[in-house]
Amino acid sequence: MKQRLASYLPFLTWAKHYDRTAAAKDGLAALIVTLMLIPQSLAYAMLAGLPPVTGLYASMLPLIAYTLFGTSRTLAVGPVAVVSLMTAAALGPLFAVGSAEYAGAAMLLAMLSGAVLLAMAVLRLGFLANFLSHPVISGFISASGILIALGQLKHILGIPVTGENALELAHGLILGLPSTHLPTFIIGTLSLLFLFLVRSRLGGWLQKLGMSVHIAGTLTKIGPVVALLLAIAAVGGLGLADTGVRVVGAVPRGLPSLSLPTLDLELAMALLPAAVLISLVGFVESVSVAQTLAAKRREQIEPNQELVALGGANIAAAMSGGFPVTGGFARSVVNFDAGAQTPLAGALTAAGIGITVLLFTPLFHNLPHAVLAATIIVALLSLVDLAALKRTWRYSRQDAAAMAATMLGVLLVGVESGIMLGVGLSLLLFLWRTSQPHVAVVGQLPGSEHFRNIERFAVVQSPKVLSVRVDESLYFPNARYLEDRIAELIGRYPQAEHLVLMCPGVNLIDASALESLEAISARLHTAGIQLHLSEVKGPVMDRLRRSDFLEHFGGQVFISQYEALRALDPQTTHHALERQRDHLCSKEKAG
């Protein structure tokens, strides 16, 4: 009972041994993450099409929910780029950016996303996330990075551009180029330059000044907050807001009031597909980060409980005026590197954001959009990994095709279409591949009981017994294909009396394939050849026993291909074994 409770509320486990050392480490990590999270959460809210302060709202209660329910000790939850992009993609076509309906729908989307995650936890459907294959996720993140960066360029140029895909955005940017707003452009370019230098050079410079790698690395992470402060000072000092530089403007001070999003059933149904995709993508991203970090410290995470924790975090986001959240990659790594010991670091980060909302929001009045856009661009471009496409192509053209389809889909159509296209293509290519399986004629490796492809190894073939290995489960897409291939093989081996189908690669024989096996057996009979099976796996054999195939096909099922050959053609098998026997017996005589 107690154990069960602890598995639903993992904090009960670590809270028992919580001490001052852990608290000090968690506190330091929380401070650093807070400084990193402030610009990110403001920027990602803007990316999601929401008032920047919404990002801060989405960085309080959700973190506390994860502290209570999460199993990763170092995952940092909050607004992340791809999920914010997906939020904007889902809501953009329905409501005007900036309207109250838009903000309400964002809350509803977070609520739905939370509900989907909890439902997946209850129904144990976490495995669905596996259908987002590695190439699809990788392609999705790279393309999203490019799409987001393109979308943010308008803030750097200070021009209004709208567009759903990369082409529209690029077109809008080119058309708008002549009307670039110079002060905005200067702020944006300086921010970009500053952030790039901080990210790529600052660490090295600080180390040259004698700082430890660790401290230098940590300081570079709070570069964005420095950029924010500098920009706020510049805009305030020079009165740039009056020249037309877009700033965040008046931000309500104080914590958000708790409320439930209005449940508009029709809108909920319309948003559900987006909520499902956001949940899946968020879950995959979050769990991979959590697993990577857990492995480094020999800790474990429990994927199903992670669904609960992320579901709780999203419902908390919905109730506090936020939008969909998940575990973020960069932030979690910083949290880990800064020495976070327990999920309490997350709750302390939430407290830090709470203090910010209570005390510092007037500061943000003069914060220019351009510097937030620069924060996003610099953070995102590091995730773009176009070389992955080439690496994947070298390994597997099918995987590369799925990756390319995802990228093109995301860039040219939209984020959801891109993911669906990638997953759909991955599945289609797999099915297409299994529909024409590799079929090899095999022979015995001299001096062993092992059988391999006659085209790849110097093996001994029996003239009487045709040994055929099928490298695929036998199921409906390939059932008839097998019939054709075997018909063709018999033509090539007219002197064969037996055909042994070697089944180590057959993990399933479905009803359609069983019909095909019956047809094959009957056709072989008319040609004077007896069908046998070998190396049939336990689960497949169990199933065959439930049909009447084994009684009627007239052949035998051998435990191994070697046993089949020993029974059907002892002479050839004897020859192939001779060398081995000589070898063994001479060793015995010698010993």
Q: Minimum distance from CB of 518 to a copy of itself (Å)? A: 11
Best CA proximity match to 503, nearest among 466, 458, 553, 540: 540
Instruction: Tell me the sheet residues that pair with 532.
Output: 500
H or E element at residue 328: strand 326-328
Using CA atoms, how far apart are residues 209 and 211, in angstroms rounded to an integer? 6
Q: Based on CB atoms, which residue is closest to a copy of itself, 182 or 584? A: 584
The separation between CA 234 and the C-alpha centre of its own chain, rounded to angstroms, equals 40
Using CA atoms, how far apart are residues 71 and 280, in angstroms rounded to an integer? 18
479 binds a copy of itself (CB under 8 A): yes
Q: Minimum distance from CB of 90 to a copy of itself (Å)? A: 25
Candidate segments 27-35, 84-92, 176-184, 396-404, binder of a copy of itself by CB under 8 A: 396-404
Crossing angle of helices 134-157 and 265-296, in 10° steps, is 110
399 binds a copy of itself (CB under 8 A): yes
Single out the residue of 512, 525, 556, 567 in contact with a copy of itself (rule: CB under 8 A). 512
Q: Which of residues 200-259 bind a copy of itself (CB under 8 A)?
A: none
Q: Based on CB atoms, which residue is closest to a copy of itself, 225 or 550? A: 550
Single out the residue of 365, 433, 464, 525 in contact with a copy of itself (rule: CB under 8 A). 433
Single out the residue of 448, 454, 493, 567 in contact with a copy of itself (rule: CB under 8 A). 448
Candidate segments 23-31, 50-58, 166-174, 542-550, binder of a copy of itself by CB under 8 A: 542-550
Instruction: Tell me the sheet residues that pair with 530.
Output: 498
Using CA atoms, how far apart are residues 242 and 365, in angstroms rounded to an integer? 13
Count of positions (residues) in the chain: 591
Q: Based on CB atoms, which residue is closest to a copy of itself, 39 or 477? A: 477
Are 313 and 114 in contact by the 8 Å Cβ rule? The answer is yes
| DSSP string computed for 414-481 | -HHHHHHHHHHHHHHHHHHHHTS--EEEEEEPTTSS-EEETTTS--B--SSEEEEEE-S-B-HHHHHH
Q: Based on CB atoms, which residue is closest to a copy of itself, 122 or 295? A: 295
Site string for a copy of itself, 264-303 (x = CB under 8 A): -------------------------------x--x-----
Best CA proximity match to 451, nearest among 575, 567, 535: 535
Single out the residue of 167, 177, 193, 585 in contact with a copy of itself (rule: CB under 8 A). 585
Using CA atoms, how far apart are residues 355 and 31, in angstroms rounded to an integer? 12
Q: Minimum distance from CB of 479 to a copy of itself (Å)? A: 7
Q: Which of residues 449-478 bind a copy of itself (CB under 8 A)?
A: 449-450, 452-453, 456, 471-473, 475-478
Are 449 and 199 in contact by the 8 Å Cβ rule? The answer is no
Q: Which of residues 41-80 bind a copy of itself (CB under 8 A)?
A: none
Single out the residue of 22, 543, 550, 556 in contact with a copy of itself (rule: CB under 8 A). 543
Q: Based on CB atoms, which residue is closest to a copy of itself, 102 or 451? A: 451
Single out the residue of 562, 568, 573, 576 in contact with a copy of itself (rule: CB under 8 A). 562
Single out the residue of 254, 538, 551, 591 in contact with a copy of itself (rule: CB under 8 A). 538
Site string for a copy of itself, 129-168 (x = CB under 8 A): -xxxxxxx--------------------------------
The sign one gets for the Cα dihedral 278, 280, 283, 286 is negative
Best CA proximity match to 233, nearest among 366, 37, 52, 36: 366
Q: Based on CB atoms, which residue is closest to a copy of itself, 163 or 303? A: 303
Q: Based on CB atoms, which residue is closest to a copy of itself, 106 or 400? A: 400
Q: Minimum distance from CB of 442 to a copy of itself (Å)? A: 11
Site string for a copy of itself, 408-427 (x = CB under 8 A): ------------------xx
485 binds a copy of itself (CB under 8 A): no
537 binds a copy of itself (CB under 8 A): yes
Q: Is 29 helix (H, G, I), strand (E, B) or coil?
A: helix
Single out the residue of 178, 394, 458, 495 in contact with a copy of itself (rule: CB under 8 A). 394
Using CA atoms, how far apart are residues 348 and 153, in angstroms rounded to an integer? 34
Q: Give the count of alpha carbons within 13 A of 384, CB side only.
A: 17
Candidate segments 203-211, 311-319, 335-343, 555-563, binder of a copy of itself by CB under 8 A: 555-563
Q: Based on CB atoms, which residue is closest to a copy of itself, 556 or 560? A: 560
395 binds a copy of itself (CB under 8 A): yes
Using CA atoms, how far apart are residues 590 and 150, in angstroms rounded to an integer? 77
526 binds a copy of itself (CB under 8 A): yes
Q: Based on CB atoms, which residue is closest to a copy of itself, 8 or 127? A: 127
Q: Based on CB atoms, which residue is closest to a copy of itself, 189 or 436? A: 436
| DSSP string computed for 30-93 | HHHHHHHHHHHHHHHHHHTTS-THHHHHTTTHHHHHHHHH---SS-EEE--HHHHHHHHHHHTT
Q: Please enumerate in sequence order all residues whose Cβ is within 8 A of that of 353, keeping only pairs 6 or more positions apart, or say none.
A: 34, 37, 38, 41, 56, 59, 60, 63
Are 497 and 487 in contact by the 8 Å Cβ rule? The answer is no
Best CA proximity match to 470, nearest among 486, 490, 487: 486
177 binds a copy of itself (CB under 8 A): no
Q: Is 231 helix (H, G, I), strand (E, B) or coil?
A: helix
122 binds a copy of itself (CB under 8 A): no
Q: Based on CB atoms, which residue is closest to a copy of itself, 323 or 562? A: 562
Residues that contact a copy of itself, how many (by CB under 8 A): 74
Q: Which of residues 331-390 bind a copy of itself (CB under 8 A)?
A: none
CA distances from 508 to 137, 470, 494, 552 (A): 29, 12, 30, 20
Q: Which of residues 487-506 bind a copy of itself (CB under 8 A)?
A: 504-506
Single out the residue of 436, 441, 489, 497 in contact with a copy of itself (rule: CB under 8 A). 436
DSSP type of residue 205? H
